[in-house]
């Protein structure tokens, strides 16, 4: 009589017991996905191109790699729940105006980030962008209302009422929750530059700097805006180059007059003199001396200076 063969108990192979090259492929795929989302490939290409820029070309641009933080994450007192949304420099008063989005108001700041006064914004819904034009005129973009309002501010202003000032409809956006957010005054070209948050797009609107806009807004080519979102805009008054801030990409881009990328600066901790990553960079502006200023949600102030 044949003896029965001993039974063999098979141990199921764990599903995650993958070969080393499978893990390598998985890690590589994840890294590629993150790189694509953060545009590290584009940044790497621009970093390489930056190495070939001549000293003259660097002098004729803003050249963001040379900037270092001299005021790093200074809190704006009492504004922890107000959400700093943008920042603009006023060459007449040598001060800054920041707009708060959650609880609408303007705050005037010194160049060191000290609070000088608050101006209530009555009737605004979600102000996200601010710029200083001419003779005390400020442009304020309301993302929820999809419009830009041109207000007048002087030394005695303590409150602004939406119904008292001319507003211009910015029209519908592809994503109404990620619509027009950024604005800056381009003095040499006598126009406002406006930006849609996502997908990032640029527009211009002609003006003489008063409370009047001419014609309708015009779309600009945006092929160089390889960023996850567009948070804020500023024009360097010396070169006319456009600065484009992206909170999601942790990045500040410099575009020349042709709209081509010239240089960039990351706002991650450990770079450009930053101790920690800027939590959510929402506003940027530059003065006539080339000093760079930023604000971040919820209430943080930054100042960068170029190292010579």
Q: What is the pLDDT of residues 185-226, one digit of tens each?
A: 999 999 999 999 999 999 999 999 999 999 999 999 888 888
pTM, to two decimals: 0.85
49 versus 149: the higher-pLDDT residue is 149
Report pLDDT digits (tens) over 123-181. 999 999 999 999 999 999 999 999 999 999 999 999 999 999 999 999 877 666 678 99
- Cα 24 to Cα 103: distance, rounded to the nearest angstrom: 48
- CA separation, residue 59 to residues 37, 52, 201, 239, 274 (Å): 32, 14, 28, 10, 24
Query: Between 19 and 249, where is the model more confident?
Result: 249
pLDDT, averaged across the chain = 87
92 and 84 Cβ atoms separated by less than 8 Å = no
pLDDT (0 to 100) of residue 278: 98
Q: In whole angstroms, what is the distance from residue 69 CA to residue 113 CA?
A: 13
* Exposure on the CB side of residue 30, measured as CA atoms within 13 A: 6
Higher per-residue confidence, 4 vs 118: 118
Averaged pLDDT for residues 30-56: 54
pLDDT for res 16: 47
């Amino acid at each position: 009589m044949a003896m029965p063969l001993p039974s063999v108990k098979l141990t199921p192979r764990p599903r995650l017991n993958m070969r080393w090259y499978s893990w390598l492929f998985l890690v590589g795929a994840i890294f590629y996905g993150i790189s694509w989302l953060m545009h590290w490939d584009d940044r790497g290409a621009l970093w390489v191109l930056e190495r070939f820029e001549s000293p003259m070309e660097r002098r004729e641009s803003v050249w963001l790699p040379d900037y270092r933080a001299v005021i790093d994450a200074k809190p704006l007192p009492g504004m922890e729940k107000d959400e700093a949304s943008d920042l603009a420099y006023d060459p007449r008063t040598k001060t800054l105006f920041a707009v708060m989005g959650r609880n609408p108001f303007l705050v005037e700041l010194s160049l060191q980030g000290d609070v000088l006064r608050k101006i209530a914004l009555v009737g605004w819904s979600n102000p996200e962008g601010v710029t200083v034009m001419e003779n005390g005129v400020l442009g304020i973009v309301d993302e929820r209302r999809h419009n830009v309002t041109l207000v007048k501010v002087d030394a005695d202003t303590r409150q602004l009422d939406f119904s008292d000032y001319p507003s211009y409809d910015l029209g519908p956006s592809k994503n109404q929750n990620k619509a027009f957010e950024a604005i800056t005054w381009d003095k040499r070209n006598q126009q406002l530059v406006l930006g849609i948050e996502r997908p990032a797009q640029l527009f211009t609107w002609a003006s003489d700097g008063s409370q009047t806009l001419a014609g309708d807004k015009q779309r600009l080519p945006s092929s160089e805006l390889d960023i996850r979102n567009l948070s804020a805009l500023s024009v360097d008054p010396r070169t006319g180059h456009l600065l484009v801030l992206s909170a999601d990409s942790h990045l500040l881009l410099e575009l020349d007059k042709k709209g081509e990328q010239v240089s960039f600066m990351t706002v991650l901790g450990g770079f450009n003199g930053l101790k920690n990553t800027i939590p959510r960079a929402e506003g940027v502006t530059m003065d006539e001396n080339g000093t760079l200023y930023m604000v971040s949600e919820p209430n943080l102030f930054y100042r960068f200076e170029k190292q010579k």
